[in-house]
Amino acid sequence: MSFLDHVLQRPSYGWKDDNGNLIKPTKGQIFKEFFSRLNIIKDKHNWLPFFSWLKVFCLIPFFFIFLTNYLSWGTLIAAFVYSMIIMGTHGTIWHHRYCTHGAYKFKNGFWRFFTQNLTINVIPEEIYVISHHVHHAKSDQPGDPYNAQAGFLFCFLADVNHQPIAKDLSESDYNRVKLLMKHTGVPANIYTQYQKWGSYVNPGYAVLSWVLNWSFWYLAFYLMGGHALACSLFGAAGFWAVGVRTFNYEGHAKGEDKQREGTDFSEHDKSINQLWPGIVAGEWHNNHHLFPKSARSGFQPHQVDLAWYYIKLLHQVGAVSSYRDDKKRFYDQYHNPYLKIKAEQKANLSRIKKEQLVAAPVIKLDSTVKQDLTK
């Protein structure tokens, strides 16, 4: 069994049946697993998924305060921009392209810390990174932690049910987890601490970084626009924290075959390029599955990629030392060959039509038939 086959904590209903087919758990099974894994009294190893959802629930009051006390056109626009664009783009920049795929490198730890805390802290890096490596290795196959073919709830609650690392890893396997996380700057538990807590990150560090991050951003927003702006943007972060859990279900076409010719070139999975996530967060998901280590995934002219613009800007000012850009490879390996094939097909069709016209029989009409047709 490979490392990625067992690095994640296996759900009680399993990944696949005896025939190797995807297990699609019922809603009842999914909810039972969800609440079982949030039970920190039963097992303190559950602390990280509990902590992740605790942050979400702490953001919900801000959202309702925003709706009831501070709702205006100004705060509504600010909340929309912050949740849809800023939070979404930051997730692509930090969790996706850097922490998981290492698509670019920072010049030093300051710029890494700056980028990490560019927005309100919501998603633990550990839960996202390790599971996302598994997702790419097993995309839309049994073992994919957010396999869209298993349904919406399977994906929506995946951060608790399917994404945490296993609690019984050997020391050598845990060291491999540490290697996948080392560049993120998040300090690691030693192996005995991992055995105690069941996680890469230590609870003390996680809580401290959360408190400092939220304190800084609430104060910053308050100084910019008082409690109205602070509550609005913290509420917007809560809205994003819930909404982002729907992305992989949508980004893999709800488990259906919806790929479009000439748009989605990665045919080994069900990922699709979507206009809205692409524009607001740089998530051209099918492009990303073609070249996961690319710092840019908006390859075509209409594919706006705000995450790439940030990475490129940091490179220009010297904060990013290097990056990988697979745009040329995309055009050379996929887009240009596709256009060439389509052009050849069009030329062949035109040639066939001309040949059919030339080969068509000439019908000669006698004078009587011509007169009848004229009449």
pLDDT digits (tens, 9 = 90+) for 249-299: 999 999 999 999 999 999 889 999 999 999 999 999 999 999 999 999 999
In a domain, 325, yes or no: no
| Structure tokens belonging to residue 41 | 């009294």
- Measured in whole angstroms, how far is the alpha carbon of residue 266 from the centre of its chain? 16
CB of 312 within 8 A of CB of 101? Answer: no
CB of 139 within 8 A of CB of 194? Answer: no
- Residue range 190-214, pLDDT digits in tens: 999 999 999 999 999 999 999 999 9
In a domain, 65, yes or no: yes
In a domain, 95, yes or no: yes
Section 9-17 average pLDDT:
95
The residue segments making up the domain with residue 149 are 1-257
Given pLDDT bands bounded at 50, 70 and 90, which one contains residue 349? confident
Please give the share of the chain, as a percent, with pLDDT higher than 70. 95
In a domain, 267, yes or no: no
> Total domain count for the chain?
1
Q: Which residue has the tokens 């810390």?
A: 113
What local confidence, expressed as pLDDT, does residue 229 receive? 97
CA distance 356 to 148: 48
Given pLDDT bands bounded at 50, 70 and 90, which one contains residue 91? very high
In a domain, 279, yes or no: no
| Structure tokens belonging to residue 308 | 């790439």
Q: Which residue has the tokens 């994003």?
A: 240
CA distance 314 to 304: 18
Question: Is residue 374 over pLDDT 70?
Answer: no
pTM confidence score: 0.90
In a domain, 53, yes or no: yes
Q: Is 297 exposed, middle or buried (0-12, 13-18, 19+ CB in 10 A)?
A: buried
With H, G, I as helix, E, B as strand and everything else as coil, classify residue 42. coil
Lowest mean pLDDT among 49-53, 177-181, 335-339, 355-359: 355-359
In a domain, 123, yes or no: yes
Counted residue by residue, the chain has a size of 375
CA distance 276 to 58: 28
In a domain, 141, yes or no: yes
Residue type, 59: L
What local confidence, expressed as pLDDT, does residue 346 receive? 84
Selection from 351, 347, 301 nearest residue 327 by Cα: 301
